[in-house]
Amino acid sequence: MKPALTKFGAQMSKLTGVRAIMKDINETLRAGKGQELMNLSAGNPLILPEVEQLWRDCTAELLASPEYGEVVCRYGYSKGYSPLIEAVTKDFNQRYGLELTERNILITPGSQTLYFYAANVFGGYTNNNELKQIVLPLSPDYTGYGGVSLVPEALFAYQPTLDIDTTAHRFKYRPDFSKLSITEKTGCVLFSRPCNPTGNVVTDDEVEKIAALAAQSDVPVLIDSAYAPPFPALNYTEMTPTFGENILHCMSLSKAGLPGERVGIAIGGENLIEALECFQANASLHSSRYGQAIAALAIESGKLAHISETVIRPFYKNKFTVLETTLESAMPDNLPWFLHRGEGAIFAWIWLKDLPISDTDFYQQLKKVGLIVVPGNSFFPGLREEWQHKHQCFRVSLTGSDEEIKTGMQRFAKVAEEVYRSATVSV
Ligand SMILES: Cc1ncc(COP(=O)(O)O)c(C=O)c1O
């Protein structure tokens, strides 16, 4: 049977962004079974023993408590499981000197769902048929934003400026405030901080500036804090989470060891939270109560924030150092290669300036030497203008072993050298 799809149906039943290349990666991995393949493409966090133990302990505590039946045998509020909302409220009020109440919090089934709700509550066509844009102030950004709007033309991303340190082979993206426009035509603003794929942390000042611009037109700003402190605390540079009437601070427990349980947390102004809560009641009722209950225990005891700082952050920070030092010794100094400053998240982002072939062709070359990384072009959702840079970047996952990262980056350097050299020879 081939059912007729609606406009939304056709839109939502397509794979977007990185998921399309993931199909090729999975086929390559399957075909290459038995071969020595360095797979540095994964977005799935590693299972760290201390983190797994934390969730095991919380599960044991829940199982032993009379609350167990209440948690798994009952529906709950769409807003979320009350002990989790209380734990988050208390933790954030203490930690950041806020005055949150339960009306400022919403728990969702993972944070991807939260972006889907927000993109369609605030972005898209109004009753007057005006298009409200979902503005991504700095492209590249999380590939998953490419599929969140039922109205794809609503997504609008801005090209950044590049802060380049040629001698050190480093660079950093910055929002281009000379171009960024947030007006009454904007439905919401969305960016990840720390950023997947680049590891960028938009500075505190830049966040304040974006939030102030948006406040002028009553535009909500969603700060995707999937890698931010206090959990999973995957920031390697100082950063202060920003809160405010028009800000939705959006968290995920996925990188804190709980991706399967689907727990996302939004903190923000009451009116914003209420609109999203109603959408959730219609779309999915609520998030898994088991996941919420163990999260409540881990946050209430302070253990989640502690493990994030003492285990999760140093683990990935060390992986970045391995990658950085390997690239420094393996990449020829005369090639125009640039590593994005490693300020957070679980990825490294490499830019090969003036790369003679496309990122997709380069990815194919890497496959031949047994290395898989993700070509960068799928991380520019919503960016309309053609920009060569889009086809010159690669996302490398820090979820490999130290050895895999080392060998992988040595192979990357060899292929890069070869590709630039053969282009010079053929000129
Ligand atoms: C920046 C960013 N935001 C959101 C998500 C979605 O996370 P989840 O839906 O598991 O909370 C991810 C997942 O990788 C991510 O990297």
Contact between 366 and 397 (Cβ < 8 Å): no
pLDDT value at residue 278: 96
* Ligand 1 in reach of 397 Cβ (< 6 A): no
**What CA–CA distance (Å, rounded) separates 55 from 6?**
42
Centroid of ligand 1 to alpha carbon of 120 (angstroms): 18
Contact between 140 and 200 (Cβ < 8 Å): no
Percentage, residues of the chain above pLDDT 90:
90
State pLDDT tens for residues 32-87: 776 778 999 987 889 999 999 999 999 999 999 999 999 999 999 999 999 999 99
Centroid of ligand 1 to alpha carbon of 111 (angstroms): 6
Domain annotation covers residue 275:
yes
Domain annotation covers residue 1:
no
pLDDT value at residue 31: 83
Domain annotation covers residue 254:
yes
Centroid of ligand 1 to alpha carbon of 142 (angstroms): 8
pLDDT value at residue 170: 98
| Cβ within 8 Å of residue 195, ≥6 positions away | 138, 140, 141, 142, 201, 202, 344, 345
Domain annotation covers residue 135:
yes
Centroid of ligand 1 to alpha carbon of 43 (angstroms): 9
Q: Is the pTM of this model over 0.85?
A: yes
Cβ atoms within 10 Å, residue 99: 8
Identify the residue with better confidence: 292 or 424.
292
* Ligand 1 in reach of 143 Cβ (< 6 A): no
State pLDDT tens for residues 146-193: 999 999 999 999 999 999 999 999 999 999 999 999 999 999 999 999
Average pLDDT over residues 288-300: 97
| Domain of 317, in residue numbers | 7-46+307-425
Contact between 299 and 89 (Cβ < 8 Å): no
Could you give the angle at the alpha carbon of 83 between the alpha carbons of 271 and 282, nearest 5°?
A: 45
Residues 113 and 217 grouped into a single domain: yes
Residues 141 and 154 grouped into a single domain: yes
Concatenated DSSP letters of 361-401 = HHHHHHHHTTEE-EEGGGG-TT--S--GGGGSEEEEETTS-
State pLDDT tens for residues 298-330: 999 999 999 999 999 999 999 999 999 999 999
Residues 185 and 94 grouped into a single domain: yes
Domain count, the chain: 2
Atom 14 (ligand 1): residue with closest C-alpha? Answer: 43
Which of 22, 41, 112, 349 maximizes ligand 1 atoms within 8 Å of its Cβ, making it the mutation to test the pocket?
112
Residues 12 and 73 grouped into a single domain: no
In ligand 1, the atom with minimum distance to the C-alpha of 264 is: 11
Centroid of ligand 1 to alpha carbon of 249 (angstroms): 14
* Among 170, 421, 294, 180, CA closest to 191: 180
Cβ atoms within 10 Å, residue 295: 29
Query: In the listed set 273, 289, 304, which residue is the last one of a domain according to the structure?
Result: 304
Residues 242 and 175 grouped into a single domain: yes
Residues 245 and 394 grouped into a single domain: no
Concatenated DSSP letters of 262-286 = --EEEEE-HHHHHHHHHHHHHHTS-
* Ligand 1 in reach of 226 Cβ (< 6 A): yes
* Ligand 1 in reach of 344 Cβ (< 6 A): no
Contact between 211 and 242 (Cβ < 8 Å): yes
Residue 412 CB-density burial (10 A; 0-12 exposed, 13-18 middle, 19+ buried): buried
Residues 203 and 299 grouped into a single domain: yes
Residues 210 and 289 grouped into a single domain: yes
Query: In the listed set 304, 337, 365, which residue is the last one of a domain according to the structure?
Result: 304
Residue 149 tokens, joined: 């709007």
Residue 226 CB-density burial (10 A; 0-12 exposed, 13-18 middle, 19+ buried): buried
In ligand 1, the atom with minimum distance to the C-alpha of 253 is: 11
* Among 247, 238, 243, 165, CA closest to 202: 238
Residues 173 and 81 grouped into a single domain: yes
Average pLDDT over residues 347-354: 98
CATH number reported for the structural domain that contains residue 38 in this entry: 3.90.1150.10
Percentage, residues of the chain above pLDDT 70:
99
State pLDDT tens for residues 194-249: 999 999 999 999 999 999 999 999 999 999 999 999 999 999 999 999 999 999 99
Domain annotation covers residue 240:
yes
* Among 78, 101, 72, 74, CA closest to 88: 101
Q: What is the DSSP letter of 337?
A: E
* Ligand 1 in reach of 224 Cβ (< 6 A): yes
Amino acid 381 reads: P
**What CA–CA distance (Å, rounded) separates 156 from 381?**
8
Domain annotation covers residue 217:
yes
Contact between 84 and 296 (Cβ < 8 Å): yes
Q: Could you give the C-alpha distances from 178 to 154, 155, 175, 266, 415, in angstroms and in order?
A: 21, 20, 9, 30, 37
Average pLDDT over residues 241-265: 96
Name the 3-class secondary structure at 10: helix
Which of 22, 41, 46, 142 maximizes ligand 1 atoms within 8 Å of its Cβ, making it the mutation to test the pocket?
142
* Ligand 1 in reach of 111 Cβ (< 6 A): yes
Q: Are strands 374-375 and 393-397 parallel, antiparallel or unpaired?
A: antiparallel
Atom 2 (ligand 1): residue with closest C-alpha? Answer: 226
* Ligand 1 in reach of 144 Cβ (< 6 A): yes
Residue 353 CB-density burial (10 A; 0-12 exposed, 13-18 middle, 19+ buried): middle
pLDDT value at residue 32: 74
**What CA–CA distance (Å, rounded) separates 365 from 416?**
9
Domain annotation covers residue 42:
yes
pLDDT band (50, 70, 90) for residue 378: very high
* Ligand 1 in reach of 108 Cβ (< 6 A): no
pLDDT value at residue 340: 98
**What CA–CA distance (Å, rounded) separates 365 from 412?**
9
Residues 122 and 197 grouped into a single domain: yes
* Ligand 1 in reach of 359 Cβ (< 6 A): no
pLDDT value at residue 339: 98
Query: In the listed set 286, 304, 322, which residue is the last one of a domain according to the structure?
Result: 304
In ligand 1, the atom with minimum distance to the C-alpha of 227 is: 1
CATH number reported for the structural domain that contains residue 56 in this entry: 3.40.640.10
pLDDT value at residue 217: 97
Centroid of ligand 1 to alpha carbon of 107 (angstroms): 14
pLDDT value at residue 425: 65
Q: Could you give the C-alpha distances from 3 to 6, 9, 15, 96, 186, in angstroms and in order?
A: 10, 10, 18, 51, 35
Domain annotation covers residue 148:
yes
Average pLDDT over residues 327-341: 97
Q: Among all chains, which residue has been given the structure tokens 């090639």?
A: 335
pLDDT, the chain, mean:
95
pLDDT value at residue 11: 85
**What CA–CA distance (Å, rounded) separates 365 from 10?**
34
pLDDT band (50, 70, 90) for residue 24: confident
* Ligand 1 in reach of 196 Cβ (< 6 A): yes
Centroid of ligand 1 to alpha carbon of 65 (angstroms): 31
State pLDDT tens for residues 211-224: 999 999 999 999 99
Residues 41 and 99 grouped into a single domain: no
pLDDT band (50, 70, 90) for residue 2: confident
In ligand 1, the atom with minimum distance to the C-alpha of 142 is: 1
Cβ atoms within 10 Å, residue 238: 10
* Ligand 1 in reach of 230 Cβ (< 6 A): no
Residues 38 and 167 grouped into a single domain: no
